[in-house]
A = this chain, B = another copy of it.
Amino acid sequence: MNWQDKLNKEGLRLTTPRRVVISVLEAAGVPLSPQTIHQRSLDADEEIGLVSVYRTLEMLTDLGLVRRVHGHEACLGYVLASPGHHHHLVCRSCSTAVEFSGMDDLSTLIDHIQEETGFLVDEHMLQFSGLCPQCRKRTPHHDQD
């Protein structure tokens, strides 16, 4: 299903600002902040309002079509999300973000945690950072820098 249909299905319209936000995210492939997305729309001569960037990101996040990615210190930004998967792996050198599913290993962990703590775990946030294959090659040593 294309973006047009995805939005129309929800009674939403595929407008120019929304199209631009989506294409910027598609072109980037790394988490981008609202400010960065706005700047890139200017760079591409597709000026849209910063306010619309915020509203579009909120809408797409609600629909599960983009995901917020966090670092330890702050929110890194937003990336397009494929539905159903919830985890990101971000390269700390080039910021490339990859999605992965790890529910099998994770459900074991969740079981252990529930036993240990007595909590009922129903939501989780798991993110990894490291070096992507390209940046590993570029780095002389394979340890950590």
Q: Is A3 an interface residue (CB 8 A)?
A: no
CB-contacts of A57-105 with B (<8 A): 68, 70-75, 89, 91-92, 98, 100, 102, 105
Q: Cβ of A121 and Cβ of B117 under 8 Å apart?
A: no
Q: Is A118 an interface residue (CB 8 A)?
A: yes
Q: Is A10 an interface residue (CB 8 A)?
A: no
Residue in contact with A89 in the complex, picked from B73, B105, B119, CB distance below 8 Å: B119
> Inside 8 A of A71's CB, which chain B residues have their CB?
125
Q: Cβ of A129 and Cβ of B120 under 8 Å apart?
A: no
Q: Cβ of A128 and Cβ of B121 under 8 Å apart?
A: yes
Chain B min CB distance to A29 (Å): 14
* Binding-face segment, A16-24, A32-40, A41-49, A108-116: A108-116
Q: Is A14 an interface residue (CB 8 A)?
A: no
- Given A68-B73, A130-B121, A133-B119, A105–B109 Cβ distance below 8 Å? yes
How far does the alpha carbon of A92 sit from the alpha carbon of B145 in the complex, in Å? 34
How far does the alpha carbon of A78 sit from the alpha carbon of B133 in the complex, in Å? 34
Q: Is A124 an interface residue (CB 8 A)?
A: yes
Chain B min CB distance to A49 (Å): 23
Q: Cβ of B109 and Cβ of A122 under 8 Å apart?
A: no
Q: Which 3 A-B pairs have the closest CB atoms?
A: A105-B109, A118-B133, A121-B130
